[in-house]
Amino acid sequence: MDIIFSSKKLEKEFNSDTELGKVYGNQRAKAIMKKMTQLAAADSLEQLRNTPGRCHALKGDLAGVFSLDLDGPSLMTNTSTNQFRPNYSVVPGEILIDALEERSISQSDLALRMGRPIKTINEIVQGKTGITADTALQLERVLNIPAKFWLNLESNYQNFSAKERERARLMNFTGWLKQIPVSAMIKFGWISKRIDPVAQLQEVLSFYGIASPEVWNEQWLSPKVAFRNSETFEKEPGAASAWLRRGEILAQQINCKTFDAKGVREAIFEIRELTLKEHTDIKVEITKKCATYGIAVVFVPGLSKAHISGASKWLTPQKALIQINLRHGTDDHFWLTFFHEMAHILLHGKKEVFLDVNPTGEQSLKEHEANSFASDILMPPKNLEAFVSSRKFDKRSIVCFAQEIGIAPGVVVGKLQRRELIDSAQYNDLKRQVI
């Protein structure tokens, strides 16, 4: 049963054993923790009628409200907004003891009624033995308290105990967060901010979809990792891995058809035509078009220490990923990066992951192939070389050439700048922001 409170003050008090002790005293705090444990284990207030502590429905103007006694009446209503997430738990055996005392039943008498050894009952009381499904059914028959209540008590207690053990273990790894760009991830809304270091660590682990920092080391730093030898990844594995993981998460949300290499090749020049369109919805159009052929295209904000222009990989044998950094938003850089990553998908193996810092850098044969593919798609080599041979690089000539080959003028400007045929500051007004 979900438990919520009518005020933040009550929420703070009832979720902390320390606060309960301060406000109500240690003895009453213990009683409150027992009652709250019972409430959390019950499926409904009705189920609490026969549990320790007089739980009963009120009448008249308070019809629909239940009262649960501590050492005096305490009203429980459902008009509240603050949740019950306690930092404490009560051994189910303590609730059992209270139920026995209310009925004047001893542990030995209970053992006889259940047909169980007194040692077993004593171990349940002490928390050394858990309440099994069979035990819960026997307790239901003897005490008239639903078996589900006892099983929920046990489940909640075991769950809390496991979390406490995990918390104690993770305390040793909070320093690992220093290599992860936590602040930037919070800023972009990838994870939530937590004040508690262990809670923040758990938030980051959930982002990566892993159980511990040791698993992260194995998954991201192992020599077997496909992109492990990338210079960018070597320098800042935390930032690079976070950027890549964000891409994976976004790609999982894109419903793609089965990969169709032939269809992609046929659609490439349709996609190329998008360079001429207004860029308000270009991301939507690219994503939709590529998903049709089994490629998830995602756009991820750049992280300051992850100097990656784009990345490509296979998520499954039939679904590929192209990931574009949002930092470089002009059309010349965007389209070169996009078709560069497309080349990796079409030309290279499905087991490889490609991280590209600068798509024009020829670091390997495969990078050279990707560079050539992207360049040739954007500007046919014969047309480009004829234009370069003319040596006419004024703004009007650039625009005319772009119109001739059906490409955005900014893409031509970027090409000429990279080949150092014009200054890097020239004609940047022809470039357009894509993202």
CA atoms of 7 and 12, how far apart (whole Å):
9
Q: What is the pLDDT, as a whole number, of residue 75?
A: 39
∠ at Cα 208 (206, 212), nearest 5°?
Answer: 70
Under the banding of pLDDT at 50, 70 and 90, the label for residue 65 is: low
* 55 three-state secondary structure: strand
Is residue 231 a contact partner of residue 357, using CB atoms and an 8 Å limit? yes
Do the domains at 4-83 and 92-167 have one common CATH topology?
no
CA atoms of 356 and 374, how far apart (whole Å):
13
Q: What is the pLDDT, as a whole number, of residue 178?
A: 95
Q: What is the pLDDT, as a whole number, of residue 71?
A: 54
Q: Could you read off the pLDDT of 219-240 as tens digits, one per residue?
A: 888 655 555 445 666 678 899 9
User: Which phi and psi (to 5°) does residue 39 adopt?
Assistant: -60, -45
Q: What is the pLDDT, as a whole number, of residue 329?
A: 76
Q: Could you read off the pLDDT of 291-331 as tens digits, one per residue?
A: 999 999 999 998 888 888 899 999 999 999 999 987 767 88
Residue 79 has pLDDT above 80, yes or no: no
CA atoms of 412 and 417, how far apart (whole Å):
9
Q: What is the pLDDT, as a whole number, of residue 271?
A: 92
Q: Could you read off the pLDDT of 357-383 as tens digits, one per residue?
A: 755 444 578 888 999 999 999 999 999
Domain residue ranges in the chain: 4-83, 92-167, 173-248, 254-430
CA atoms of 275 and 273, how far apart (whole Å):
5
Instruction: Tell me how long the chain is.
Output: 435
* Poorest-pLDDT segment among 72-81, 121-130, 227-236: 72-81
Task: Name the class of domain 92-167.
Answer: mainly alpha
The structure's pTM equals: 0.75
CATH of domain 4-83: 3.30.2310
User: Which phi and psi (to 5°) does residue 314 adopt?
Assistant: -105, 125
